[in-house]
Chains A and B, each alone.
Chain A
Amino acid sequence: MDMKLPIYMDYQSTTPMDPRVLDAMLPFFTEHFGHPASRNHSFGWEAEQAVDTARGQVADLIGATPKEIVFTSGATEAINLGLKGVAEMYGEKGKHMVVSAIDSRPVQDVVKRLAREHGLEVTEVPVDKEGLVSPQDVQAAIRPDTILVSVMMANNEIGTIQDMAAIGKVCKDAGVIFFTDASEAAGKVPVDVQAMGIDLLALTAHKMYGPKGAGALYVRRKGPRVRLSPQIDGGGHERGMRSGTVNVQGVVGLGKACELCKELMPEEAKRLAALRDKLQDGILAACDEVHVNGSRERRLPHNLNLSFAYIEGESMLMGLKDIALSSGSACTTSTLEPSYVIRALGVSEDLAHSSIRFSLGRFTTEEEVDYAIGQVNQTVKRLRDMSPLYEMAKEGVDLSTVSWKAD
């Protein structure tokens, strides 16, 4: 088989659509274009039926019932609806939320805004060096006026998977709503909102081989029933929780993507974990001072996050120009700050600048992994030869004792 360059190893950024998902969507652009809220003709009924089918497929992936699925434009909107909706609806009960330190960017930004504009108080729960949230820490952070706990199920950068069932139990015992951004976990590892005690869950289609612009919020209906203040007003679609004509073709794609992920998960997770391990071992065997960020045990099967000591992340990515990857380096972000996720692990700033995320997916081949191993090892050698830090370290200089002075 001929390998095409560049190679895509950034599946945690977004995924290509599975052709089967595209096939399922196509008729809903042209032939079945009806509005699912049109109650008095067959065009509307067809669309409504397609949306209902998709609702069932999404629910099925996470152990929910179809009526608990609210379609949104993606995970970010689902997160906004979940957190702001709860803050408004339960504002009388309390003004305190608990959020994990490595929760996703949208969660961090929403609670910041709620704090700024609505007087919400937020307690951040730290993570250990593997990125794990301790259920005891969550318990200790909960106050009488706490209305919600948010813990991202699996982290987007380091792939660490939290002990959701244990944290869910803490929340249940305290009578606090348990919210999770599951956009990295859904479709990749088993998710069960019942067993995990989850009350609100956000997911998105484009991270599981579906289209961009479609996502969902799971909203628990029983034990307890979670109520939300809608954030978008209009025609009262999605049982009043999210007005706006449903993105039928997107939702059909999301549903099909969920169905495929559920069907393929056991085999796919095994295959990707084996490829990921091969990638990890191939790099660690050839290069010294490469650190695995996050947990090696509780980790998404397709994720590998490495810090290459003495090499800056962006220069690494430049050397790996035939492989699409992400870096936690400040230079690759608009904020000029290195990854807050890597820093939350207690990793030093220079190693945070050196972090690279490899994320594999459904269409990754072993040939691509072999190619990546070769390219990475070659680039590490080249950039270390060029690195004054590597030279100093090899000369026995303890870099932490050097008094750096940056202008």
Chain B
Amino acid sequence: MAYSDKVLDHYNNPRNMGSFDKDEDGVGTGIVGAPECGDVMKLQVKINDDGIIEDAKFKTFGCGSAIASSSLATEWLKGRTVEQAMAIKNTEIVDELNLPPVKIHCSILAEDAIKAAVNDYVQKSGKGDSEGAAAKPTAKTGT
């Protein structure tokens, strides 16, 4: 399978790879996917008091396109408001990375990860006014 140059670039030079302490104030964590499906993304956002995403990090178990989708997502998240983050659509990721049809699920997962991370922040901080707040985080860690 041939990869687009952008996928290769993100795979070889992942942006914002790593983790925040999930209990830190202002940090929202989203973990989506499942190991048996071959894709798990962890996406974290650090949001300041003005509701701006100051920083974002990811870790991904998955194919090159999954890694690239989550890496790209962290780039896009920085500097956005919570509302702007929730507006990111998977199709934008598909277009940016030139993902082939069989890899579209990677972009959907990245969109889900963004929403899960932001929702986690909203729930934790008690700012329940975001429209996405009703959505549930897609995976719970621990027991």
Contacts and interface: CB of A to CB of B under 8 A. Distances in A.
Interface of A: 310-315, 318-319, 329-332, 336, 338, 348-350, 353, 385-392, 397, 399, 401-407
A329 B38 CA distance: 8
B61 A388 contact: yes
Q: Which of B3, B8, B34, B41 has the most CB of A within 10 A?
A: B34
Interface stretch (B48-56, B78-86, B121-129, B135-143): B135-143
Contacts of B14: 386
Interface residues of B, number: 37
A312 B61 contact: yes
Given A312-B38, A318-B3, A407 B109 contact: yes
A407 B32 contact: yes
B46 interface: no
B42 A388 contact: yes
B6 interface: no
Interface in B17-33: 17, 19, 31-33
A406 B37 contact: yes
Contacts of B61: 310-312, 386-390
A397 B35 CA distance: 14
A349 B34 CA distance: 10
Given A310-B61, A329-B63, A387-B60, A407 B36 contact: no
B59 A388 contact: yes
Contacts of B40: 388-389, 404
B67 interface: yes
Contact of A405 (B8, B60, B139, B142): B139
A403 B140 contact: yes
Contacts of B42: 388, 391
Contacts of A311: 61
B112 interface: yes
A241 B103 CA distance: 45
Given A385-B17, A388-B61, A404-B40, 4 more contacts: A313-B38, A318-B64, A386-B61, A397-B142
B133 interface: no
Given A401-B143, A404-B139, A314 B35 contact: no
Interface string B59-93: 11111101100000000000000000000000000
Contact of A331 (B8, B38, B143): B38
Given A311-B61, A314-B64, A391-B59, A350 B35 contact: yes
A257 B39 CA distance: 43
A391 B62 contact: no
Given A397-B142, A402-B141, A330 B38 contact: yes
B1 to A, nearest CB: 7
A387 B38 CA distance: 12
B35 A349 contact: yes
A74 B33 CA distance: 41
A407 B64 contact: no
Q: Which of B8, B39, B40, B142 has the most CB of A within 10 A?
A: B40
